[in-house]
Amino acid sequence: MRNFVSVHDVTDIDALVKKALAYKANPFVDKTIGTNKRIGCLFLNPSMRTRLSTQIAAQNLGMEAIIFNVGSEGWALEFEEEAIMSGTTVEHVKDAAPIFGKYFDILAIRTFPSLKNREDDYSELYIKQFIKYAGIPVVSLESATLHPLQSLTDIVTISESLQHSSLGAGGKPKIVLTWAPHVKPLPQCVANSFSQWITAWGKADFVITHPEDYNLSEEFTKGATITNNQDEALKNADFIYVKNWSTFNDYGKIYESDPKWMLTNKKLDQTNNAKVMHCLPVRRNVELSDEILDGPNSIITQEAGNRVWAAQAVLSEILRTNG
Ligand code: CP
């Protein structure tokens, strides 16, 4: 593995999941493979789980992790080729990225979309420019359209939960991705990425449900059943993945905030006692009800805990294949 920016960087999802779960059972088994190696974690946007779990994962492998909050503490970066930098940007990625390449062995980056221009966001210019100019492996800590470390974690969590379910480790669960209300427009990254990974994994009946006009890019949802009827979607679900996202066609808008889309215990009754997932952070009683989040079906803390093991599996693969 050279870079980790989407599911296309992974040749065997189950092998990576197995590796993550092995690290969960034995976190320090590879505690020297990253000795004298350094990962630079660049945050152009805020984070809690991704930042801390990546740092812990690197340390478990013997790496030093250096965090740089570029968005709030660094020079404003320019990403456009041939830009005339007479505005607010101070340093071009073409100049900054090779320096990161000298300082670090792996570069990890979080950068959100603008939600203003779909073409720009979906071109993934920022992460592509870092890959082009850094000269070292690049890991996405969430980009404009995808959140691969979150999605790997989600499959790790589903696989782990299946081992203890009546379906068993080899069972084929029904997984439902459901849109939820929110107060502000959010990126499509988590929903895109979850769809991309679950369809590539191919081991689930995968249903996406959302209000009209909230369709995701077909690039990521091919193979999923898509419906605007949430009740129909939830029937016999084994896992429900709750997430808000803003509109894709009329890009970055909120059309719908009807609380009827929020998951409740009454809705959960239609399911196969489904486990409920969310990437976090979550707006309580807007996106998800207290009764679900504090109830026995929620596996959100287990899911967030697994962020460490997913990151550790990815970093160790990159260390193994890049020397
Ligand atoms: N799920 C997730 O990426 O959380 P953070 O934004 O806190 O990193």
> What's the pLDDT tens digit per position in 231-289?
999 999 999 999 999 999 999 999 988 899 999 999 999 999 999 999 999 999 999 99
Report which ligand 1 atom has the smallest distance to the Cα of 280: 1
Question: Is the confidence at residue 14, as pLDDT, over 90?
Answer: yes
19-40 tens-digit pLDDT: 999 999 999 999 999 999 999 9
Report which ligand 1 atom has the smallest distance to the Cα of 147: 3
Taking residues 283-301, what's their average pLDDT? Answer: 97
- The CB of 140 under 6 Å from ligand 1? The reply is no
59-115 tens-digit pLDDT: 999 999 999 999 899 999 999 999 999 999 999 999 999 999 999 999 999 999 999
pTM (two decimals):
0.97
Contact in structure between 122 and 216 (CB atoms under 8 Å): no
pLDDT of res. 323:
73
Percent of the chain exceeding pLDDT 90 equals 96
Average pLDDT over all residues of the chain: 97
pLDDT of res. 218:
97
- The CB of 47 under 6 Å from ligand 1? The reply is yes
pLDDT of res. 170:
86
**Euclidean distance between CA atoms 24 and 21, whole angstroms:** 5
- The CB of 280 under 6 Å from ligand 1? The reply is yes
- The CB of 150 under 6 Å from ligand 1? The reply is yes
Using pLDDT thresholds of 50, 70 and 90, give the confidence band for residue 58: very high
Helix crossing, 148-163 with 49-60: angle to 10°? 70
Nearest CA owner, ligand 1 atom 7:
48
- The CB of 48 under 6 Å from ligand 1? The reply is yes
Using pLDDT thresholds of 50, 70 and 90, give the confidence band for residue 201: very high
H/E stretch holding 76 reads none
Using pLDDT thresholds of 50, 70 and 90, give the confidence band for residue 169: confident
What does each C-alpha distance from 216 to 117, 159, 187, 260, 283 come to in angstroms? 15, 25, 11, 20, 22
Q: What is the DSSP-derived secondary structure letter of residue 145?
A: S
Contact in structure between 218 and 122 (CB atoms under 8 Å): no
Contact in structure between 197 and 155 (CB atoms under 8 Å): yes
Collapsed DSSP state (helix, strand, coil) of residue 261: helix
